[in-house]
Structure 1
Amino acid sequence: MAATPSDPNGRTGLGVRNIRRFPTGGEYVEALQNTAVCFREPELKSGTVGRDPVLGPKPISGNFASVFSVTSRSGRRYAVKCFTQDVAAQESRYDAISRHLAALGRAALSQPWNIGFEYQSQGVLVAGQWYPLLKMEWAEGNSLIRWIEDHRADPAALGALANRFAALTADLAATGVAHGDLQHGNLLVARDGTFRLVDYDGMFVPALAGYRATEMGHRNYQSPQRSDTDFGPGLDRFSAWVIYFSLAALSADPMLWDQLHESGGEFLLLTEEDFRAPAASFRFGTLLSHPDRRLRDLAGRMRDLSAQPLSELPTLAPGTFSVPAAPLRARPSAHSTSIPHPSAPSGSGTHPSWLTGHLQSAVPSPLTASPSVSASASASAVSHFQRRRRVDVALACCMALLVVAPAILTAGSLLAASAYPTAQGGALLAAFGAGSTGRRTRSEVRALRLLRRDLRRRSQTIGHSEKALVNLDQEVQALDRHIQDREAKDSARIRQLQADQNNEGARVTITLNQRLAAIDGELAALPRQEQERRDRALAPLQRSHVQDQLRRTPIGETAKLSNLGAGTTSALISAGIRTAADFTAVRYVTGGGYGTVSAMFVLASGHQVKVPSIGEKRARTLESWRKGIEDRARQSAPVKLSPAELHNLAAQTTAERSRLHNERKKAQTDAQTHRDRLRTRITSEQRAVMDAQQAARVDDARARAEMSRRRAQLVLQRDDRAAVDAALTLARRTRRGLSLRRYLLFLVTGR
């Protein structure tokens, strides 16, 4: 039976809470084979349980429960939690949580993070008994780590998610709710980028004031200062800061995910070990030395929070830190491979506004000289001849005289008639030569000549620019590949160093555990060893006592024994056996032709003697007599050592125990020293890699900027081709208007 709300710790009137046995996960799997029988609620009775094709109902195991997916006949999907352990005041807790969350208006929340649920005290039947279950709406979305993996290259999305998470924590604080286990697995990100909060087992609501926590939350998201007495509205403050900080840091520098997160790791950027020892943490060292000042400040605050009691932590709220949609600092990404195209439309005009002041002047009109053409040529480059000059008039007269001169000379008989054709041809050639010379001196012709020369030069330059642009694009692609390869190698090197630290740390731990186990074994054996030393010290005393009793017993006492007389005693004394101590044993030797047995007495010196008249029977009587004396002597032998001897033996044990304890401490100290040196070395190597990485990124940014500048110039030159080709075409038409024929006609007519 569950405890009542007035009993926060779940105790009965006798002071001890009755602990009820709950089914195992396997027993629930067997029961859920038939939903019509195992569930009490009609909607669940008609539902279908998510199944494994081979194993049947498929559970998701968690703390104290197994969760099953159940789809009702109407198509609604639920998460059904079946408990495997008895939790203190379970029913009263869930009743308080459900009533409080149901009273929240979703319209007043920043996002629909709360999931509807219902606690059923008799919800599932297992082995003939009813047990409670929790029926929750099924929440769709990706876990936080999966979402980050999918959006790691989008700083704006990461920044927006950080702001939404801050808004979620503000909702919790405003409604007096604390989740109790804020971590990546309990935060689902829906398709619209809003959060869904799941797993309310450890949740606090105001009605649960005075209760104790039922769980401590994920270790990589909880303050080292948290205990089970911390159960109140401030329960989530540390974990909220951890998640917000990680998202804000990634929005500033997405490459931190490769550097600090481990594949498959149950954390974002920081772990429990980092919070417990920030000074020795490679991750904190990386964040605190980051080039972005705001990120460094945020990391410093996160480090300080890990040392503060949970009750003193500040509440995270929107606006605590500004997380813009864009990255916190400009930094080239390893995944960015494009250079802005200078001809992309932006602002007004032909070219983007950001290129203003960096472009060449537009190609001049065909009748206007380019910047390289002189001002005078530009002013006179027109499509027809202008006003005649005096030299043109004089040249026209001279040409006319040259044409009529042969006829005049022939008419005056100054030239033979037969020479007239030759003279006339020469005169015409001279006239045309004079006209051609005169045309070349015209400013219109000179300006056109200069303009065409400049346009041809520009056309040639444009051809070179197009080739250079292709080569530059290839350089950009090569740089992108180089950056990606280097970033991948750097990330792999950082991960390898972290793996080396983990592996070497594991080897140190294994060696330490083996050494400690050996030492603990020796410590456990000390009482036995001390007893063995006592026994060894007591053995000589007992042997001495037995020997003394044997020496004090004369052999003459054997005369009192049956079948032994004075003659036997005399024979023994003659053989050197005067007391019971003079012989230690009897050996029996079979010899002779009739199988007779002879007795050989083993003396204390080790020699063997045969005593006349003593056969097997008498020898056995003597042997039995000696053994009886020996047994009686042992019974009276001392069984304790002297106090001084006991003290010495105890002192030896104490010294040995002290030595082993010192060895134990030394083994632990050596292992910790090894770990510290390993951590220092790995941290140093990782920081060296990151420093080199940062320097390379700066060089990459400079190279990109220079390539962007060069590309802008080349694109402008390339974009001039159409205008230059048009200008060349028009210049050719203009040249026809300034031909020699037109010039000669101009000389004659003036137009």
Structure 2
Amino acid sequence: MAWPTPQEYNEAVQSPQVCFSDPELKRGSPALTPLGLPRPISGAFASVYRIDCQGRSWAVRCFLREYADQQHRYSAISERLRGANLPCMVGFEFLARGILVGGRWHPILKMEWLDGISLNEYVGQNVNRPDVLRSLSRRWIDLMRSLKDAGIAHGDLQHGNVLVRAGELKLIDYDAMYVPALSGLQSHEEGHRNYQHTERTGKDFHADLDNFSAWVIFTSISALAIDPRLWKLPNAGDECLLFRREDFENPRNSKVLLTLEKHGNLQLKTLVSHFRSLLTLPLAQVPSLDDSILDAKAGTQPGGLGTTGVGTQGLPNWIADHIDRSARQPQPEPHESVREVAPIGGAAWLYDHLIDEGTANRPHVPVVHVRYSLTAWSVIILIGLLWAGWLIAWVPGVILLASTPFCVAVGTAMLLHGYRAVNPTQERETALGRIADGRARISQVERLIGLSKAERTRLGEPLAALKRAYDDLPQKMDAESVQLDRSLATVLGAIDVRRRNSQVEYDNEIRGIDDEFERVGRDLETAVRDIESRKLQADFERDEALRELHQRSQSAIARFERRKSELASDERAEIDRLLQQARSLHIKVALAQTKVTASVVPGIGEALAGRLRSAGISCAADVTYDGVFGVPGIGEAKANALVAWRQWVERGAILSSPPSLAPGEVGRIKDKYARLIQEAEGKIASVRQEERTERQAIDQRHAASKASLEAGGHSAKRDQAAKLQQARSRQEAGRMKAASALADRRRRLDAEEQVERRAHELRRDALKSKFQREKEKLAEEYQAEKGRVVEARKRLDQQFDEWNRSLFRLRLEARQDELALERLKIIGPWRYLRLVLIPKDLPLPASAARRE
């Protein structure tokens, strides 16, 4: 069957009262274009129309393709959504006979119409409002978490299928949706290419189907919240948010990914780096959005650091067993980059208040002591004065030659001392050592925290095992109850089999008795049918003989009747023939008697009349056109006049001819044919008399035969009736005996069933008592174990909180050391000379700065 096209749907929707089967849609009207035509929202798989129905609007989804399991899929999806009750979903109804197109019914999907805007439009409107986009990303995480908890995957997450309505996110278009009831099937769709993993196919149909699409949308929104200028990138917002299919297929050459990775914001770099790593994973291994985000917030980023030998005094034994006392700390390179690590517990926001990242990246420059600058300038001025004095001859040359090297040496020594003072090599090494030590301690504390979490989980395992055992008791009891019920069912089944067998034996015995009675009845019916059959045969033979007799008689009568009809026709034909002969003779005589004279034909004088007579034309009978035209003096006109005169004479003869034969002649003909017809009627009467005589003979023979058959039938019926009465007596006696035996067997089987049911109730009561005792025992053990676990976890939580505080303090100190290391810059010789000669701010080591 050909599936309707969008144009055919468009034509059908123009008449809702005709095309829709749903009563509410019949009363609605479609949204129209300025031209007055229905306005569809067309996609690759369906056309969607808005139908307004008395204050309520519906979205009617008309499918452009047919799938055999379409109704099964939507039924499973509808049932799952009703059970999950997710606020992000929209209720719908699948109508198998929804819309009439081209004389055929086709399915539709009736959904509530949402007056929202698509995700890309919402992002475009709020791209310069980072707080709105951050709130949107948090709502997106909550939405994905709710889908995961419900075991549902949308299958086609993209900007067009995510609507924002009053700040809330709504999902539409459920064609590709996965619910647990559809497990094992394949997807009919593969989703929007700019939001799906490159390896996705129709075989990928499971609960983790949306993980990659969720990451694409989350990364795009988070990046735009950090830097709205990214919305101006090429193709941003055009059938995508930021990323396109080409970025997933070739991430190494993706301009969008390269732009984001070169961004100055560390958070954006980290997010994009994580997203790039997802592109290398198979679709089934892409983590879900909620778990990954929570792990990223609560964990640490790898820094390539090892552990150090930290003392284990005061730690629990289970932690001390995991501490490697011989581990050595790998020393970082002097210029190794240090990654920023967020504290556990989601306290990364504290960095925004403790450290100003904008100013921390600029090295602080304390003011250098003025003595370095004054010393340098004093030496320069002294040498200048000496040389000036020598030039004006008041300073001896010997003093000049002796003092100049001295001043140069003193100045050089002072400059070297100052250069060493402003270049803190030793303090840089000390700072690097502190940073490495801090990293080692942070790594050790993080490991202790991880072990603490594992121990906390391990402590709950016995409690969980008791809880599972307690929770499993009803199931175990149900299982054993089921087993008891099965045993009872087996016994009762055997009793039912015996009961059915008894019934079968009774039915077979009754059937045998009834068969005997029916056989006698059939014999009687056979004898009666034989008599009746012979009667019917006699009737048939009589009817057949009468039919043949009647056919012969009717054939002869018909032959004579046809002869009578022929005689009447012959009579009329003979009268007409004789009348026609008389008329012809009259016309010939009239033509011969009318002579050609000058007075009878206009224009014909006596001379022309003589010429005509000479040519053999003396009367009207001799006039013909060809005969008179050749006579001298007779032209065409006079020839026509002569022919017309002849026709006038002929008409006059016809009018004067006799209208009928003479009465005597007609009487003679009628008498002749009357005798012939009377002879035919006499033969017909003779045939009919013979038929009556033969019919009487046939009826007499049939009556004698039927009387004989009636007598034989009455005798056979009397004999069979006697036999039937005897068979009925035997049947009633046999039925009573069989019913009594069946009742006895049923009473015995009912007694056995009651005994088995009573025994089953006793066994069930014993089972309940057993499980009640086991339940009370497990409850006592659970309460005892719970008290122990609570105390142990309380101690662990106290230790965990202390380690968290220590970890935050260590990270803060490490950050401060890294900033201090940034401030300990190395000053080159020429820059140092320039700054000394032109005094400006010079960096000093921390010790020098503190002294100053």
Instruction: Output the TM-score relative to the length of structure 2.
Output: 0.34
Higher relative contact order (CA 8 A, sep 6+): 2
- Normalized per residue, which structure has more helix? 2
